[in-house]
Chains A and B, each alone.
Chain A
Amino acid sequence: MIRRLFENRNFVIAARIVLGAIFMYASFDKMANPQAFADIIDNYKMLPVQLVNPLAIFLPWLEFLTGLFLVTGKWVQGSLLIYTTLLVIFIIALGQALVRGLDISCGCFSVNPSTTSEVWLRIIEDLAMLAVCIGLLKYGESSDTDVETEIENQKTII
């Protein structure tokens, strides 16, 4: 049943657009306020301080570009692989914060520390997105493949 779902072209396109839009939306606030995002990353206490600022600068752009490629349907396979990797990293970061009882702001969609964010809820959201990503990688045909197949078919017909 799951396989059939991910073989449905409309579902695959919708899933890609939703996943991409989520990452693009999540990146805007972080891009605008890199210092606040750096503080949030530092609060996770996972990285040496030298890596905090580079991550605060580049991660929002990685999210944005990955999201953009998923929405536009270009470089889908590569984008999905990056998306999946990022989600795994986010789940690990949130999980360790939850286990260690760190009193932190998630920084998932907003860098405002006042934003209420239940860490466990974010983990569930990320797990759901991860499941969709894995489904797309395993069963879903990427947009690039679709286009190439279409071109091949047309060539054959001609």
Chain B
Amino acid sequence: MDKRSLWQICGILLLTLLAGIFFNLSNPNRIQFIGDEKNVDYSASDSLLNALRIQDSIQKAADSLMTNSSRREDSLKLLLEQKLKDSLLAVQKDSLKRVQDSVKAAKQKTEDSLKNTQTQSQDIAKPVDIKIDFAKALFDKKHRFIDARDVSDFDAGHIQGALNIPYHDLEKYREKLNSLPKDQVYVTYCSSACDVSIDMAYAMVKMGFKKVYIFHGGWDEWKNAGYP
């Protein structure tokens, strides 16, 4: 490389530097000169999973109380017919009241828990990063998974019931995506060494979807865990 070429290179680099700075400062779509680090924040994943588990256990408790209540009611009715009507009626009333109270309390707790979970979900202004255990819990609850990989990758293997919307062909699939209900829970994923699930989640939020989760482990982690 001769001296003249070196000067030319320096000149071009200098012009590039100046043009880049001035254009970026005047560009309405300008970006920061030094970008922020993309952090995967799993802090919400664990608390959401806990809320979901609490909600499940309360629901189970409420169900069992309801079953016990109806059984108890039946047996009390039989006794009522056979034996001392008046005295047993008082006992039955008392027992029923107690059971009904406990069912009411359980229902209240369930509603509170549901409200808390929903509030947490509704607060999602941007997609939330989640781990595999919460992703599995959402899968068990039959929430919709969106596979952002290309069709060939999807065909090679995907999470059971997932909907394939390749991010690289988003324009083609935009109508299909728009037809999905916006207020439901969605989980986006790709493989593991990819960012299309993140891009897809942010695109969905922009389109008006309210509850979008990003499952970073993707198909690779799901498959390794032996999930369907």
How distant is the Cα of A49 from the Cα of B2 in the complex, in angstroms? Answer: 35
B118 contacts partner chain A, Cβ-Cβ < 8 Å: no
* Chain B positions within 8 Å of A45 at CB level: 193
A49 touches B8 (CB 8 A): no
How distant is the Cα of A80 from the Cα of B193 in the complex, in angstroms? Answer: 35
Q: Restricting to A33-64, which residues have a CB under 8 Å from any CB of B?
A: 33-35, 38-39, 42-43, 45, 49-50, 52-54, 56-58, 61-62, 64
Question: Considering only CB atoms and an 8 Å cut-off, how many residues of chain A contact the other chain?
Answer: 42
* Chain B positions within 8 Å of A100 at CB level: 193
How distant is the Cα of A100 from the Cα of B87 in the complex, in angstroms? Answer: 80
A114 touches B30 (CB 8 A): no
Residue with the greatest number of chain A CB neighbours at <10 A, chosen from B5, B6, B36: B5
Question: Considering only CB atoms and an 8 Å cut-off, how many residues of chain B contact the other chain?
Answer: 46
B153 contacts partner chain A, Cβ-Cβ < 8 Å: yes
A62 touches B30 (CB 8 A): no
B31 touches A57 (CB 8 A): yes
A10 contacts partner chain B, Cβ-Cβ < 8 Å: no
A57 touches B190 (CB 8 A): no
Nearest Cβ on chain A to B93's Cβ, whole angstroms? 66
B74 contacts partner chain A, Cβ-Cβ < 8 Å: no
B34 contacts partner chain A, Cβ-Cβ < 8 Å: yes
A69 contacts partner chain B, Cβ-Cβ < 8 Å: yes
How distant is the Cα of A49 from the Cα of B191 in the complex, in angstroms? Answer: 21
Given A35-B29, A43-B195: A114 in contact with B12 (beta carbons within 8 A): no
Given A42-B195, A77-B5: A65 in contact with B12 (beta carbons within 8 A): yes
* Chain B positions within 8 Å of A115 at CB level: 168
Given A45-B193, A103-B149: A75 in contact with B31 (beta carbons within 8 A): no
B5 contacts which of A31, A49, A78 (Cβ < 8 Å)? A78
* Chain A positions within 8 Å of B169 at CB level: 114, 116
Given A34-B31, A102-B194, A103-B150: A57 in contact with B12 (beta carbons within 8 A): no
* Chain B positions within 8 Å of A35 at CB level: 29, 31
Q: List 29 A-B contacts (CB under 8 A).
A: A31-B27, A33-B29, A34-B30, A34-B31, A35-B31, A38-B31, A43-B195, A45-B193, A49-B36, A50-B34, A50-B35, A53-B31, A53-B34, A53-B35, A57-B20, A58-B17, A58-B20, A62-B16, A65-B12, A78-B5, A78-B6, A78-B9, A82-B9, A103-B149, A103-B150, A103-B194, A113-B196, A114-B168, A114-B170
Give A residues with C-beta under 8 Å from B: 31-35, 38-39, 42-43, 45, 49-50, 52-54, 56-58, 61-62, 64-66, 69, 75, 77-79, 81-82, 100-105, 112-116, 144
Q: Which 6 pairs across A and B sit closest by C-beta, in order of nearness?
A: A78-B8, A53-B35, A75-B8, A58-B20, A114-B171, A77-B5
Give B residues with C-beta under 8 Å from A: 1-2, 4-9, 11-13, 15-17, 19-21, 23-24, 27, 29-38, 149-150, 153, 167-172, 190-191, 193-196, 199
